[in-house]
Structure 1
Amino acid sequence: MFSGMFFIFTPLVLGYFIAINRTDVLERINQITANLVLVILSLMGLSLAALDDLANNLATIVHYAATFFFFLGAANLAILPLIDRWLPLHSEQTQQSVPLSQMALESLKLIFVVGGGLAVGLLLPLDLSWVETASEWILLLLLFFIGIQLRNSGLTLRQIIINKHGLIIAFVMITTSMLGGLLAGWYLDMPWQQALAMSSGFGWYSLAGILMGDAFGPIFGGVSFSVELLRELVALVMIPLFIRRFPCTAIGYAGATAMDFTLPVIQTTGGVRCVPVAIVSGFILSLLVPVLMLFFVSLAM
């Protein structure tokens, strides 16, 4: 059961043991990682093109994605406001503008990458038998670089432990996402192991889509990608609206993206007090995305 998990988890662990002090090297690794994500997402599009009865499969993706998005979001938002009530975090009111449309376009461009792969696969008479193998090997390389990124994120164990807001937000996000995932799996008549794996993306749409696509096929890769991308897009709108009254809720709903993509929005609209909380909660969730997904995938196999 765990041999497959060990094989795919090894590059992540190996990467995590590599400490890099040079900024230029880290920037290069970040660029390589971003490029690998684009390559694998384009391969996901090619995989979708190879499916029989594409129209029905796309309808399935929409149905499953909407179901998971609803149950996960409802579970998260049912409990996160309690943190704001019982352990309030005081945000700062700012008047700075946030380039939300530009940030949303950065997220949406990945949809065009998947769509481009789909279009190429549909329009050109290509032999797509190599796509699955290529995706698996590129995924291993991607996990290696992600391990390096997580190791060199700048957070120490002490910084994580002493930030109780960040720890509690991450814990609530994990537990409520698992609950929401089980409800979605029950509604869709999906094995609980697979439902929990699908619920462990926490907003990291690129990695979630890639891991689920590798484990369960392009349909579920597309579902996971869509669910987590929707979370990020909703978070971009939700954070400026709610962070003043419900900062923990806004930070928590952003999930893993709170430490990177949505962090500028959190800082600009919530103030500097929200930044350490967002970084800690986002880091914990980012670290656990591959761990939990691969664990539940191993149980489902």
Structure 2
Amino acid sequence: MFSGMIFIFTPLFLGYLFVVRNEKRLNLVNRTTSYLIYIILSLMGLSLAALDNLGSNLQLILTYTVTFFVCIGIANLSALPIIDKYLPIQTDSTHKKVPLSQMALESIKLIFVVGGGLFAGLLLPISLGWVDAASEGILIVLLFFIGIQLRNSGLTLKQIILNKQGMVLALVIILTSWLGGVTAAWLLDISIYQGLAMASGFGWYSLSGILMGDAFGPVFGGASFLIELARELVALVMIPMLIRRLPCTAIGYAGATAMDFTLPVIQTTGGVRCVPVAIVSGFILSLLVPVLMLFFVSLVA
């Protein structure tokens, strides 16, 4: 049952063993990871094109997306303000405007990559039988580079353990997301383990879409991608609005993206005091996305 998990975790673990001190090499790793994400997301689009009854499947993807997004969002936002009450973060007094359109550009680009793969599969007279095998192979390489990135993120285990707010935020996001995932699974009449796996993306839309697509097919992969992408886009709008009054809520809802993509808007609008909390909570969630997703995938009969 766990052979698939071991097959996936091995490159992640091997990548984590590599310490990269050369900045140019680390930048090369980051660029390579980005390129691999673009490639595998385009393959996801191709796999969507290979679906039978594509119109009805697209409707199913949107149904899954809306149901999971609403259930998980309500669960997250019901609990996060409690942390602001009992473990408040002191933000800086200055407030700067952030070009949200520029921040959202990368997310929009990824949507076009998936869409480009979909249209290419629909329009070009090519066989798509090779797509699944290619996706699995590239996924192994991608996880290896992600392991390198996590090892060289600049955080030690001691720093993670000592940051109470970051740990609490990550724990609350995990538990409330699972609650939302179980609720969505009940509403959609699917396996609870599938619901828990779908709820364990925590905002990492590229990897979660890839893992769910590889495990359960392009319908679940497409829905997972859109769920976590919607979380990030909402977070980009929510952070400047809430971070002055509810910083833990704003940072926590950003999920795994708090340590990278939404970090600039967190730092600019909330100040440097918010940065360590955002990095630690985002790091923990990023580290657990493949672990938890693949664990729940392994439990599905």
TM over 0.5: yes
Give the aligned partner of residue 154 of structure 2: 154
CA–CA separation in structure 2 for the residues paired with 1:91 and 1:192: 39
Give the aligned partner of residue 92 of structure 1: 92
CA–CA separation in structure 2 for the residues paired with 1:174 and 1:165: 14
CA–CA separation in structure 2 for the residues paired with 1:171 and 1:209: 22
Give the aligned partner of residue 165 of structure 1: 165
CA–CA separation in structure 1 for the residues paired with 2:223 and 2:236: 20
Give the aligned partner of residue 260 of structure 1: 260
1:278 aligns with 2:271: no
Deviation at 1:60, TM superposition (A): 0.5
Give the aligned partner of residue 57 of structure 1: 57
Give the aligned partner of residue 202 of structure 1: 202
State the secondary structure of the residue aligned to 1:281.
helix
Give the aligned partner of residue 14 of structure 2: 14
**TM-score, normalised on structure 2?**
0.99
1:67 aligns with 2:78: no
Give the counterpart letter for 1:172 in structure 2. V
The answer on whether the counterparts of 2:212 and 2:221 sit within 8 Å (CA) in structure 1 is yes
The answer on whether the counterparts of 2:243 and 2:249 sit within 8 Å (CA) in structure 1 is yes
Give the aligned partner of residue 36 of structure 2: 36
Deviation at 1:90, TM superposition (A): 1.2
Deviations along 1:168-205, whole A, 9 cap, x unmatched? 00010001011110001011111011111100000000
Deviation at 1:133, TM superposition (A): 0.2
Give the counterpart letter for 2:278 in structure 1. A
CA–CA separation in structure 2 for the residues paired with 1:109 and 1:175: 31
Give the aligned partner of residue 246 of structure 1: 246
1:101-250 to 2 correspondences below 5 Å:
101-250=101-250
Deviation at 1:92, TM superposition (A): 1.5
Give the counterpart letter for 1:184 in structure 2. A
Give the aligned partner of residue 83 of structure 2: 83
Deviation at 1:5, TM superposition (A): 0.9
Deviations along 1:31-89, whole A, 9 cap, x unmatched? 00000000000000000001111111000000100000000000000000000011111
Tell me the C-alpha RMSD between the 2 structures. 0.7
Deviations along 1:250-290, whole A, 9 cap, x unmatched? 00000000000000000000011000000000000000001
Give the aligned partner of residue 26 of structure 2: 26
State the secondary structure of the residue aligned to 1:29.
helix
Give the counterpart letter for 1:130 in structure 2. W
The answer on whether the counterparts of 1:203 and 1:231 sit within 8 Å (CA) in structure 2 is yes
4+ runs of 1 displaced by more than 3 Å? none
Q: What percent of counterpart residues are identical?
A: 70
The answer on whether the counterparts of 1:213 and 1:220 sit within 8 Å (CA) in structure 2 is yes
**TM-score, normalised on structure 1?**
0.99
The answer on whether the counterparts of 2:95 and 2:270 sit within 8 Å (CA) in structure 1 is no
Deviation at 1:239, TM superposition (A): 0.1
Give the counterpart letter for 2:296 in structure 1. F
CA–CA separation in structure 1 for the residues paired with 2:143 and 2:95: 39
- Structure 2 gaps, min length 5: none
Give the counterpart letter for 2:128 in structure 1. L
